[in-house]
């Protein structure tokens, strides 16, 4: 899903990418349950719209940067 909101208006060239919990788990080679634990612990920020839960690419990158070793 790609939507970018800048100055309250949408622009065709700009976008924000969102992933499901299952997609994040697959990308990071962990179980979806692990991703849910990160969310509950407040380590991974999510966006909720009703029952739909999505992780933005920016929030995932921030999470990974904070949990990088070395």
Q: Can you give the pTM of this predicted structure? A: 0.77
Mean pLDDT for 32-54 is 96
Whether 25 contacts 34, CB under 8 Å: yes
Average pLDDT of every residue of the chain? 87
Pairing of strands 18-19, 47-49: unpaired
Burial of residue 60 (number of CB atoms within 10 Å: 0-12, 13-18, 19+): buried
Per-residue model confidence as pLDDT tens digits over 5-27: 555 565 555 678 999 999 999 99
Q: Return the closest-CA partner of residue 33 out of 44, 48, 17.
A: 44
């Amino acid at each position: 899903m790609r939507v970018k909101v800048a100055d309250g208006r949408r622009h065709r060239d700009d976008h924000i990418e969102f992933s499901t919990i299952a997609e994040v788990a697959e990308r990071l080679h962990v179980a979806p349950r692990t991703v849910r634990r990160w969310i509950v612990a407040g380590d991974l920020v999510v966006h909720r719209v009703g029952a739909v839960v999505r992780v933005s690419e920016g929030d995932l990158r921030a999470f990974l940067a904070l949990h990088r070793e070395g």
